[in-house]
Amino acid sequence: MGTVLIENIGTVASGDLAEPILNADSLFLAEGVIQEMNTHSHADLKIDACGSAVMPGLIDAHHHPYFGDFHPVVNAVGYTDRYMESGVTGLVSCGPYALPGHPLGPQAGVALGILSAQSFAKVRPSGIKVYGECMIVEPGMNEADFSRAAAGGVKRIKFLLPVPTAEMARNCVGWAHNHGMKVLTHCGGRKLVGEAKSIGEALQIIRPDVAAHLNGGPTPPYWEDAAWLLDETPCAADIVFGGNLGIAVKIVEKLMGQGRLDRLMLGTDSPTPGGMMAGGVAKFMAFLASTSDLGPEQAVCLATGVTARTHGLNTGVVKVGMPADLLIVSAKEGTPARDALEEIKDGNPPAVGAVIVDGELLHPPAHYPSGRYVGRSNPKQRPVIQRR
């Protein structure tokens, strides 16, 4: 793995809410991590950012992967290329529900969770990191199933299918916590506990660690139920571009009022029957910054560092010693914005000039295969790449 020097950086958006803008004009990458800032060490690959911004790679906090870069819901092979080229360097699985024939029962549900966790631990479709360690709770699961899943690498469970009783729901939460797993819930449109009187009552029974697509996937819960989760529990929440955008703004405003943006993550809820949303995280980040008092540098944090911290991922911030999962971004040609952060505040996703994962330049590649379609984001400041 070679060394990389990124210099002539205009702004570094850190992904850390505590210090969202860093005073740095260069980064030196070696052995896949950020080794130095404000240095000009000799490197195998030199990137002149030409005044562009550097930020962490985006993490889709709500994704539904299948196997590798194939997905049966959208009948697509290689779909992750589009996510990577849009600046996504991490995908957090909220359950591999797309297996044909799903639901499959407790034994197959456990096996599918383990398979997803172990497969994506070894394979990076399009070079990006997929955190596939999520198991969907199936009616009839017992504590031995949770123990086996945890031993196989599962780190999250999700209530997506209704379970019959409140007792089973509470047992599953307890078993998950006993084995070090986070508890996620589907929010809205589906009563997750059969004997509960409402969706809201089911959410109160489960009391999740993460309220998944709290603004709907696609249907949101009643606002009173969403507000209860945010007011009465310490849960984190992800909101998604595929949900109700008006409710998403209300959630942002509520958590800003609480001073608790550290509880909020951004995702897409894709691929689904609604399609792929390759640029969804970047578009959602820009939408929220342009329709609320959310600063663009804060929006970057919600799409990067907050998700990484919530799910225990070793990525998501620009910091010495952290994996070099980075984007070089600028405003687009033809817009009035002067830089990437201003572009985001104006409501436009920034132009992606380069994508780096673990210090490896994924985009643009040295050579494109003949005949391959290449999308263009037309950055105002296009990085100049010099390979030694």
Which pLDDT score is estimated for 376? 61
Which pLDDT score is estimated for 217? 84
Report residue 89: phi and psi, to 5°.
-115, -5
Reading the chain (388 residues) residue by residue, the pLDDT tens digits are: 689 999 999 999 999 999 999 999 999 999 999 999 999 899 999 999 999 999 999 999 999 998 888 888 877 888 899 999 999 999 999 998 777 777 889 999 999 999 999 999 999 999 999 999 999 999 999 999 999 999 999 999 999 989 999 999 999 999 999 999 999 999 988 889 999 999 999 999 999 999 999 999 889 999 999 999 999 999 999 999 999 999 999 999 999 999 999 999 999 999 887 778 999 999 999 999 999 999 999 999 999 999 999 999 999 999 999 999 999 999 999 999 999 999 999 999 999 999 999 999 999 987 766 666 666 678 998 999 998 7
**Amino acid occupying residue 95:** G
Distance CA 89, CA 106 (A): 32
The residue assigned the tokens 């080794």 is: 35
Which pLDDT score is estimated for 359? 97
Return the structure tokens found at 56. Answer: 């962490």
Task: Give me the sign of the Cα torsion angle 235, 293, 24, 86.
Answer: positive
The fold adopted by the segment(s) 4-55+317-387 is Urease, subunit C; domain 1 (2.30.40)
Distance CA 377, CA 359 (A): 22
Report residue 225: phi and psi, to 5°.
-75, -40
Asked whether this chain's domains 4-55+317-387 and 58-311 adopt the same fold, the reply is no
Return the structure tokens found at 102. Answer: 């799903």
Hey, where are the domains in the chain? 4-55+317-387, 58-311
Distance CA 188, CA 229 (A): 12
Distance CA 164, CA 195 (A): 6
**Nearest alpha-carbon partner for 318 in 116, 69, 16, 9:** 16
| CA distance readout (Å), 288 to 56, 250, 299 | 18, 10, 7
Within 8 A by CB and 6+ apart from 241, the residues are 266, 267, 268, 269, 270, 277, 280, 281, 283, 284, 287
Q: What is the CATH number of domain 58-311?
A: 3.20.20.140
The answer, yes or no, to whether the previous bond of 364 is cis (omega within 30 of 0) is yes
Which pLDDT score is estimated for 371? 62
Which pLDDT score is estimated for 89? 98
Distance CA 35, CA 29 (A): 5
